[in-house]
Amino acid sequence: MSLDYRRLGSTGTRVSELCFGTWRFGRKSSGVLETDEEEAHELLDAFEERGGNFIDTANVYGNPNGTSEEYIGNWLAERDREDYVLASKVYFPFDEDNPNGRGLSRTHIRNQIEGTLDRLDTDYLDLYYIHRWDEETPIEETLGALNGLVEEGKVNYLGASSMASWQLTKALWKSDVNDYARFDVTQPLFHAGYYEDVKDYLDVCGDQDIAICPYSPLAGGFLTGKYERADPDDPSKYVAPDGARGSFDERFERFYVSERGWKVLDEVRAVADEVDASPAQVALRWLMDYPEATVVPIVGARTTDQLDENVGAADVDISTDQWERITNARYDEDGKRWGH
């Protein structure tokens, strides 16, 4: 079981087929630490052993902010930095008491890149995302600040997370007319049950040869197949295993559970049976085989067993017909999209 590598969009950098997401590192949920530093290092070791070289974090991951970056930096201290592709992000408040400690102003970007580099114990980032679109800061200011980081060698490539297609298009245009480095990678919410909702966005990425690194590629765990309907007439009712996200996160139903979701999950399960794989592996493979652009899903894991299941997607083959069956499962017999 080993990951292969693919070019990251139009860049010359090659990354593993899956990216390891570290948002759980140092994160406390109801006062309980989800992944401590020892566990984080064990997961990073396992990811590396399976061929992984692409690691995603953010300045606000962990409690307190920056803990995830610190865990990764301590792990990297005993390794060759050049062997890994590191991504981090900027936007959210790092210091709640500082009125300039948030957003995408030149001041905040400059302050946060220094903190991120220090915590990661490196002098450069391979990829720096804007975590959200900033409605208060002119995009020209943001892009100019980011371009400066590229020119200074502190950042190799730029990325954009969670924005509308028109915002991405505007940012690309502003970069081109000002001769700034442009976004090479995007990080949208994108999974097998959430496709046409972001189709315009994906089309922009395909046309501009921008890599797509979807977060929540398994719909918060819904597409792993561990959830079951509780009422065939009410798609919002479900049974969740103890400890699963849907058993405690009140946002889970609003984000992921719908008639459309169940139809897609049914097809994912059917294909999984046909190819002798798990639903999670098929859902990841569906993303990895997206034909219009390079897609590198971001996967998380609490245990090495979960990581192994995710990495196993690299060994799964689904046919074009099977891919289209999953894609089309969100539509009824009249070609209308199932409700949320």
Is residue 334 scored above 80 in pLDDT?
Answer: no
The reported pLDDT for the residue numbered 259 is: 86
Confidence of residue 30 (pLDDT cuts 50, 70, 90): confident
pLDDT digits (tens, 9 = 90+) for 261-304: 899 999 999 999 999 999 999 999 999 999 999 999 999 999 99
Convert the chain into a string of H (helix), E (strand) and C (coil): CCCCEEECCCCCCEEECCEEECCCECCEECCEECECHHHHHHHHHHHHHCCCCEEECCCCCCCCCCHHHHHHHHHHCCCCHHHCEEEEEECCCCCCCCCCCCCCCHHHHHHHHHHHHHHHCCCCEEEEEECCCCCCCCHHHHHHHHHHHHHCCCEEEEEEECCCHHHHHHHHHHHHHCCCCCEEEEECECECCECHHHHHHHHHHHHHCCEECCECCCHHHHHHCCCEECCCCCCCCEECCCCCHHHCCCHHHHHHCCHHHHHHHHHHHHHHHHHCCCHHHHHHHHHHCCCCCCECCEECCCCHHHHHHHHHHHHCCCCHHHHHHHHHCCECCCCCECCC
In the CATH hierarchy, which top-level class contains the domain 5-187?
alpha beta
Confidence of residue 244 (pLDDT cuts 50, 70, 90): confident
Is residue 84 scored above 50 in pLDDT?
Answer: yes
Query: Among 130-144, 164-178, 256-270, where is mean pLDDT lowest?
Result: 256-270
The reported pLDDT for the residue numbered 22 is: 99
Contacts of 219 (CB under 8 A, 6+ apart): 191, 192, 193, 194, 255, 256, 261, 283
Can you tell me the mean pLDDT for 145-170? 98
The reported pLDDT for the residue numbered 340 is: 39
Residue pair 297/284 in contact (Cβ under 8 Å)? The answer is yes
The reported pLDDT for the residue numbered 335 is: 54
Query: Among 6-15, 103-112, 124-133, 220-229, where is mean pLDDT lowest?
Result: 220-229
Can you tell me the mean pLDDT for 169-191? 98
Can you tell me the mean pLDDT for 144-173? 98
For residue 108 the two structure tokens come to 């905040």
pLDDT digits (tens, 9 = 90+) for 87-104: 999 999 998 889 999 999
pLDDT digits (tens, 9 = 90+) for 186-233: 999 999 988 877 999 999 999 999 999 999 999 999 999 999 988 888
Most confident region among 29-43, 65-79, 214-228 by mean pLDDT: 65-79
Mean pLDDT of the chain: 94
Is residue 339 scored above 50 in pLDDT?
Answer: no
Domain boundaries, the chain: 5-187
- The closest alpha carbon to 255, from 218, 283, 206, belongs to 218
The reported pLDDT for the residue numbered 337 is: 52
Residues with a known catalytic role: 61
Residue pair 268/192 in contact (Cβ under 8 Å)? The answer is yes
Can you tell me the mean pLDDT for 26-33? 89
Is residue 243 scored above 80 in pLDDT?
Answer: no
Can you tell me the mean pLDDT for 236-264? 81
Write down the pTM of the prediction.
Answer: 0.95
The reported pLDDT for the residue numbered 230 is: 86
Residue pair 145/138 in contact (Cβ under 8 Å)? The answer is no
